[in-house]
Amino acid sequence: MATLKDVKIGKSAVIKKLNGEGAVKRRIMDMGMTRGTKVIVRKVAPLGDPIELTVRGYQLSLRKSDAELIDVE
């Protein structure tokens, strides 16, 4: 299964599963990244980290290490 880190700029994906545990998983969920949510990758920083996403109508920057924890389809 692909992760959010693998989604290309301008493409969208639907979150299927959140990996990780404890505070990390809770923080991701608190940002609105829950199962079934559509995510659009808008930009990637010049050095590749972080990535900018559109989630539930707002812009969100997320580290690639956190994006690896999110399985998408």
Domain boundaries defined on the chain: 2-72
The pLDDT of residue 38 is above 90? yes
- The conformation of residue 2, written as its DSSP 8-state character, comes to E
Residue 1 has pLDDT above 90, yes or no: no
The architecture of the domain spanning 2-72 is: Roll (2.30)
Q: Which residue has the tokens 């079934």?
A: 36
Q: Mean pLDDT of all residues in the chain? A: 91
Distance CA 10, CA 19 (A): 24
What's this model's pTM, rounded to 2 decimal places?
A: 0.84
Give the pLDDT band (50/70/90) at residue 14.
Answer: very high
Provide the CB-side half-sphere exposure for 14 (13 A, CA).
Answer: 4
